[in-house]
């Protein structure tokens, strides 16, 4: 059975509940000011074609819509009648059909990594986005940390070990976060190009 994003989110919640001594349920309100979650850091994304839904090679990609939101290649994330996996998203050009239908948007907390993915940089206020998700102000968005992304790759049963290792190494190198869903414009900022 394939591990879903929901499984990883539930596992993360269960782990946090155990850490604060609330296993078995109870309130899910947890203080996120712990050192393990650095709220002051923003995330970044490189992109050469900010407003285009396709790359020059025809592969679908996230883009900034006319309303200013950052939209994934596909909101429903379906390819060949099934959900696109995190591994397929990471493998990108090696999985063109899946990548064109990915519900994920890649980010990193390393500003230097984004240069290899495009001339423009998009900055995401991750702390504000997480706060809006927790409060219910923003719905239908999931934030996957690098550890969650790596765990989903490890548990992927559709992909060979060779490709899983490649995806794992790439996401580890880039410290890749994945955002599933459409990101409202108030959380993103396009940074000026640096020559």
CA distances from 117 to 61, 130, 140 (A): 12, 25, 26
pTM greater than 0.85? no
* Cβ atoms of residues 183 and 141 within 8 Å: yes
* Cβ atoms of residues 105 and 62 within 8 Å: yes
Predicted pLDDT at 20:
33
* Rounded distance between C-alpha atoms, residue 120 and residue 64, angstroms: 12
| pLDDT tens column, 18-53 | 433 333 333 333 333 333 333 348 999 999 999 999
Predicted pLDDT at 47:
93
pLDDT band at 92 (very low <50, low <70, confident <90, very high): confident
Predicted pLDDT at 192:
81
| pLDDT tens column, 94-123 | 777 788 899 999 999 988 888 888 889 999
Mean pLDDT of 4-12: 54
pLDDT(16) > 70: no
* Rounded distance between C-alpha atoms, residue 119 and residue 111, angstroms: 12
Tokens of 22: 């609330």
* Rounded distance between C-alpha atoms, residue 170 and residue 46, angstroms: 15
Non-local (6+) Cβ contacts of 13 within 8 A are: 28
DSSP 95-133: GHHHHHT--EEEEES-TTTGGGG-SEEEEE-HHHHHHHH
Predicted pLDDT at 194:
66
Tokens of 169: 């190494």
Name the maximum alpha-carbon separation found in the chain: 54
* Rounded distance between C-alpha atoms, residue 96 and residue 134, angstroms: 33
Higher-confidence residue: 30 or 131? 131
pLDDT(191) > 50: yes
Of 156, 40, 55, the C-alpha closest to 96 is 55
Predicted pLDDT at 41:
85
* Surface-to-core class of residue 137, CB atoms within 10 Å of its CB (0-12 exposed, 13-18 middle, 19+ buried): exposed
pLDDT band at 6 (very low <50, low <70, confident <90, very high): low
| pLDDT tens column, 134-189 | 999 999 999 999 999 999 999 999 999 999 999 999 999 999 999 999 999 999 99
């Amino acid at each position: 059975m394939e591990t879903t994003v929901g499984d990883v989110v539930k596992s993360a919640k269960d782990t946090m509940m155990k850490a604060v001594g609330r296993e078995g349920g109870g309130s899910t309100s947890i203080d996120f000011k712990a050192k393990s979650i650095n709220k002051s850091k923003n995330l970044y994304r490189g992109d050469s074609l900010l407003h285009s839904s396709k790359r020059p090679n025809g592969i679908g990609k996230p883009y900034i819509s006319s309303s200013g939101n950052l939209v994934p290649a596909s909101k429903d994330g379906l390819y060949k009648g099934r959900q696109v996996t995190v591994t397929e998203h990471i493998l990108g050009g090696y999985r063109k059909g899946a990548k064109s239908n990915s519900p994920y948007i890649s980010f990193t907390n390393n500003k230097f990594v984004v240069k290899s993915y495009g001339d423009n940089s998009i900055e995401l206020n991750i702390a504000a986005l997480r706060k809006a998700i927790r409060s219910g102000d923003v719905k239908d968005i999931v934030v996957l940390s690098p550890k969650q992304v790596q765990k989903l790759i490890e548990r992927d049963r559709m992909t060979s070990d060779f490709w899983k290792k490649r995806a794992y190494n790439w996401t580890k190198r880039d410290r890749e976060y994945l955002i599933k869903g459409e990101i409202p414009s108030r959380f993103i900022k396009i940074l000026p190009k640096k020559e």
